Amino acid sequence: MTNDVLADQEAMRTSNVTQFERELPLVVLGEMVIMPHMTVPLQVGQGKSYRAMEQAWEEEREVLLIFVSENEIEGYKSNQAQQLPPIGVIAKLEEFIKLPDNTVRIILEGAYRARVLDAVQSEPFYRVRCLPLFDPEVSGMEIQALMETVKQQVDEFVDHLGEVPQEAVAFVHRIDRPGHLADIVTYGPAFEFKDRLEILKTLDPVERLRKAYLILARQIELLKLRQKIQQDTKEVLDQSQREYFLREQMRVIRRELGEDEESDDPIDELRRKIAELQAPDYVKDQALHEVRRLAQQGMNSPEAGVIRTYLDWIIHLPWADEEFPEIRITEAQKVLDEDHYGLEKVKERILEYLAVRKLAGNKMRSPILCFVGPPGVGKTSLGRSIARALNRKFVRASLGGVRDEAEIRGHRRTYIGAMPGRIIQGMKSAKSRSPVFMLDEIDKVGMDFRGDPTSALLEVLDPEQNNTFSDHYLEIPYDLSQVIFIATANQLEPIPSPLRDRMEIIEIGGYTEDEKMGIARGFLIPKQREFHGLTDDQLIITEKSIMKLVREYTREAGVRNLERELASLCRKVARKVASASDEQVPVADAPDSGTNNGTEPPALSFTIDVADVATYIGPERYTYGLASDKDEVGVATGVSWTYAGGDILSIEVLPVRGKGTLQITGQLGEIMKESAQAAMSYARSWAEQSGIDPKYFEDHAFHIHVPEGAVPKDGPSAGITLTTALISAVTGQPVRRDVAMTGEITLRGKVLGIGGLKEKTLAAHRAGIKTFILPKENTKDIGELPEKVKQELTLVPVSSMEEVLKIALNTTK
Ligand code: ADP
C-alpha cells in the first residue's frame, strides 16, 4: 500500500466515515475542476464521458470526475491514458436531459473527493475503482483565524474586482469548515487550473486552506499592483487630457477677449514662440531639440536654466530676411550733410562706397569701411548717419582689449556662464539681420594664448564666409552677409595687416579751431539745446565764448570734450530757466511789462559771453598760447602723437654736477629712452666739433624730464627735440618757445621721417606755435594739412640736425 492510501485510511478513521471502495463511470474533464459542493452545468461531447453519464443516469446517478489538462484528454479518448490522476471528485448527476435539438443538458454537483484506484473497464466508457475521501473535523483558534483571514481576502478580492455577486460573498462568509472554504474559494477567478488541482490534491483541510490563502494573497498583490499601474496610467492620461482641454478653452477665451495668446506652460510657450519664429528650418530644429531636452529634464533641473538661456538667444536673434528700398545717393548725401559739418572728403568716399553698393548689390565683395582718427572726430556719428541714410538699424561693439577669440565667437555652452560672442550679441540688440554694425577700436585687438581674435574677425568680415558665421555658443551657423560692417580705429599702424587689407581705410583727422567752431555752432549747440529742452532764444552763446571753450576748456583733436562742456553749460542754463519759471506768477495775474502785453510771461534768455563762461562751468582747464612767456635754456617743444591725437610736449634738460650719466624721468617708453641716448651721443660729438670742452660731459650728469608724465610717451619722433634741449643746456643758448619740432635723429645727426603729421601740426597750431620743424621726408604729407594750419604755421622741412639748431636756438643772445 502506498503512503497516500495509508493516509486516506487514517483520515477515514478520524472522520468516522465508513465508506468503502466503489466502481463508478468515469467522466474526464479538460482544464477544469469541479470541487465538492459545487454545482456546475456541463457540456460534454459524444464520447466516452457522455456514455459514462448516460449510463450513470440510468444507475446511481453518480460519476467519478477526474481533471486533466487539454493535451492529456486525448489519451483517455483513445484508451491510451498513461495513468489515472490520484484524486478525483465523486459527483451527482442532477440533470441529464436530451433536448429535442439533440443537445443534452447536464448538471453536476461535486460531492466529495475520491482516491482513484484503477480502471475496471475502458469500453464503451471507463469504469473506475475509487475510494471516497472525507475531510476530517478540525477546529482551533488558529484555524478560525486562518478562515477569517481568507474570508477577508475574499472581500478584498471582490472589492478590487467588483463584478462578483453579493450572494456569493455572503455564502462564503457562512462556511464554517476550513476544507470547504478552501474548496469554494478555489472556484473564484483568482485560481488557475493548476492551482485548483493543487487544492484538490491537498487532503488535509487546514493545509488546503493555507495553500488557498497563499494563492489568494499573491493574486491580491498582483491585482493591487495591476490596479495601481492602471491608475497611474490613467492619472497621467487624465491629467494631460485635462490640461489640454483647459488650455484649449483658455486659448479660445483669450482669443475672444482679444488678448495675447500666451500660454502658462513654459514648454508650450517656447514651442509656440519657435513655431512663430521667422527662421530657417535648421534653426527651428535645433531649438525644438533643445525644448525636448528641457521637457525631459524638467524645468527644475540644474541644466534647465542653461537651456532656457540658450533658447532665449535663439528666439531673440533676428533671423528673418529683410527687404530694403534702393539706396538713393542724393538722399544719403543729404543725411550726411545734415549730421556733419565739413568732412567733405570723407563724405565723398562714403557716397562712393554707397554708390558701388547700390550698383553691385550684394553680388560684389564690397570692402569694409574703416574710419581711422582720434576720438571725437565723428566716426561713430558718421556710422549712424550711414545707417539712417540706408534705413537700417545701427549697432556697435567695442573690440578694445579683446584678446580672446571667444569674445568674438562666444564660449561653448559647456562653460559656466557661457555667452555668445560680441558679434552675436550685437545682432541681438540690432533686432535686424541687416544692420550697420560698427566694430569700434579695431586697432586695440590683442592676441594671446587663448587664440587669435583677428582670424575670427577676418571670418566675420569676409563676405565669402560670413553667411555661415559660427559662434561657439550658438552652435548653428548665423548669416552675417546682410550686415554692413564699419570698423573704427584711432590709429592705423596697430591694425593687423590681414585685417587692414580687407578694409577701405578712411582717415578722419582732428579739427582745427575754425572747424570746431563750425561744428559747435551748427551741430553741437543746437543738439544740446534741444536735448536740454531749451529754445534758440533761451540760450545764446557768443562766438568768443565758443572759442574760449575750444581753447581754454578743451585740448583735443576731436570735439568730444567740447560737446561735454557745452552740455554742462546747457544744463546750468536749463536749471535757471526751470527755476525761474517756478517763480513765475500765473499768466492772468502777471504784472504788465513793457515788452509783452500782459498775455505772456516775460521770455527768459541767457546770453553767455566770454566773461560768463567761468561763472557757469568753472575756471578754464588749460592756458591757451605758449607755455612760457620767454625763451628758455634747456627746454624744447616737441609734439607727441597718441591714439587721442596730437599734443605738444616740452622736454627739459638739466645738467648737474656728476659723471656724464643720463637720468630720464616722465613716463617715457623704451624707444624714447634709446632716442635720448642717441641724442646724447650726437650732442657730445656736436659739442666737440663746436669747440666746447669735452670735459664738460665728464663733469656733468644730465637729467632729462618730460612733464605731464601721467601720459605715457614713446616713439622716436622726439629725437630732434631731445637733442635741441640738450645742446641748449650745454651751450646755454635758449630755445625759441614759438618753435615746435618733430623728427627722429640718427647718431650722425640726420633727421628721419615721422607719422601723424596732421595731428601734430594741429596740436602745434592749437598751442599757438608759429614755426614747425618737420623732417624733409614728410614734405609729401603737407598737402593733406588743413588750409588754416598751412596759412598760420610756418612749416620748415629739414634733413639734418644742423638745420634744426639753426632755427630753434635763439642765437640773438
Ligand atoms: P568718435 O566716434 O570719432 O569718437 P563721435 O562720433 O562720438 O566721435 O563724435 C563725438 C561728437 O561730436 C558727436 O556728438 C558727433 O556728432 C560730434 N561730431 C564730431 N564730428 C562732427 C562733425 N564733423 N559735424 C558735426 N558733429 C560732429
How far, in Å, is the centroid of ligand 1 from the Cα of 646?
A: 17
For residue 637, the 8-state DSSP code is E
* Cis, bond preceding 707 (omega within 30 deg of 0): no
C-alpha cell at 230: 492602471
Which pLDDT value is given to residue 19? 58
* 126 CB near ligand 1 (under 6 Å): no
Ligand 1, atom 6: closest residue by C-alpha: 378
* 559 CB near ligand 1 (under 6 Å): yes
* 516 CB near ligand 1 (under 6 Å): no
* 486 CB near ligand 1 (under 6 Å): no
* 511 CB near ligand 1 (under 6 Å): no
How far, in Å, is the centroid of ligand 1 from the Cα of 791?
A: 25
Q: Are 200 and 85 in contact (CB under 8 A)?
A: no
Interstrand relation of 734-735 and 739-741 (parallel, antiparallel or unpaired): unpaired
3-class SS at 356? helix
Ligand 1, atom 25: closest residue by C-alpha: 340
Which pLDDT value is given to residue 592? 43
Which pLDDT value is given to residue 234? 76
Report how far residue 183's alpha carbon sits from residue 152's, in angstroms, rounded to the nearest whole number.
Answer: 16
Which pLDDT value is given to residue 1? 43
Ligand 1, atom 24: closest residue by C-alpha: 340
C-alpha cell at 3: 503512503
How far, in Å, is the centroid of ligand 1 from the Cα of 525?
A: 13
How far, in Å, is the centroid of ligand 1 from the Cα of 559?
A: 7
How far, in Å, is the centroid of ligand 1 from the Cα of 337?
A: 13
Letter for the amino acid at 290?
Answer: E
Which pLDDT value is given to residue 363? 60
Letter for the amino acid at 804?
Answer: V
* 518 CB near ligand 1 (under 6 Å): no
How far, in Å, is the centroid of ligand 1 from the Cα of 569?
A: 18
Report how far residue 357's alpha carbon sits from residue 433's, in angstroms, rounded to the nearest whole number.
Answer: 17
The verdict on whether 760 is a catalytic residue reads yes
- pTM greater than 0.95: no
Q: What DSSP line would sit under 692-760, residue for residue?
A: --THHHHHEEEEEE-SSTTS-B-SGGGHHHHHHHHHHHHH-PEEPTTEEE--EE-TT-BEE--S-HHHH
Which pLDDT value is given to residue 46? 74
Report how far residue 274's alpha carbon sits from residue 659's, in angstroms, rounded to the nearest whole number.
Answer: 80
* 719 CB near ligand 1 (under 6 Å): no
How far, in Å, is the centroid of ligand 1 from the Cα of 436?
A: 17
Q: Which atom of ligand 1 is nearest to the CA of 560?
A: 10
Ligand 1, atom 19: closest residue by C-alpha: 378
* 341 CB near ligand 1 (under 6 Å): yes
Q: Which atom of ligand 1 is nearest to the CA of 527?
A: 14
Q: Give the active site residue among 211, 444, 548, 760.
A: 760
Report how far residue 571's alpha carbon sits from residue 534's, in angstroms, rounded to the nearest whole number.
Answer: 10
Ligand 1, atom 5: closest residue by C-alpha: 378
SS3 content of the chain, % helix, strand, coil (to 5): 45, 20, 35
Q: Which atom of ligand 1 is nearest to the CA of 375?
A: 4
Report how far residue 717's alpha carbon sits from residue 800's, in angstroms, rounded to the nearest whole number.
Answer: 14
* 560 CB near ligand 1 (under 6 Å): yes
The verdict on whether 432 is a catalytic residue reads no
Q: Which of 348, 523, 529, 549, when mutated, tests ligand 1's pocket best, judged by the most ligand atoms within 8 Å of its CB? A: 523
Ligand 1, atom 18: closest residue by C-alpha: 378
How far, in Å, is the centroid of ligand 1 from the Cα of 375?
A: 8
C-alpha cell at 537: 532764444
Interstrand relation of 127-133 and 104-121 (parallel, antiparallel or unpaired): antiparallel
* 631 CB near ligand 1 (under 6 Å): no
* 520 CB near ligand 1 (under 6 Å): no
**Burial (0-12, 13-18, 19+ Cβ within 10 Å), 151:** middle
C-alpha cell at 408: 568674438
Q: Give the active site residue among 385, 650, 675, 717.
A: 717
User: Consecutive sets of 10 residues in the chain, 813 residues long: mean pLDDT of each?
Assistant: 49 53 89 88 80 87 90 75 85 86 83 90 88 89 91 86 77 90 86 90 92 90 82 74 76 73 71 88 90 82 85 91 83 91 90 85 72 92 91 90 85 86 92 92 76 84 85 91 90 87 88 88 91 87 89 87 91 84 52 45 75 86 72 88 80 86 81 86 87 83 77 77 91 90 91 89 88 93 89 92 88 52
C-alpha cell at 85: 490522476
Using the Cα atoms of residue 243, residue 248, residue 254 and residue 256 in order, give the sign of their dihedral: negative
Q: Which of 345, 348, 350, 377, when mutated, tests ligand 1's pocket best, judged by the most ligand atoms within 8 Å of its CB? A: 377
For residue 520, the 8-state DSSP code is I
Ligand 1, atom 17: closest residue by C-alpha: 378
Please give the C-alpha separations between residue 19 and each of 85, 126, 346, 385, in angstroms, as whole numbers. 21, 22, 129, 120
Which pLDDT value is given to residue 723? 92
* 510 CB near ligand 1 (under 6 Å): no
b vs e for 426-439, b when ≥16 Cβ sit within 10 Å of the residue's Cβ? bbeebebbbbbbbb
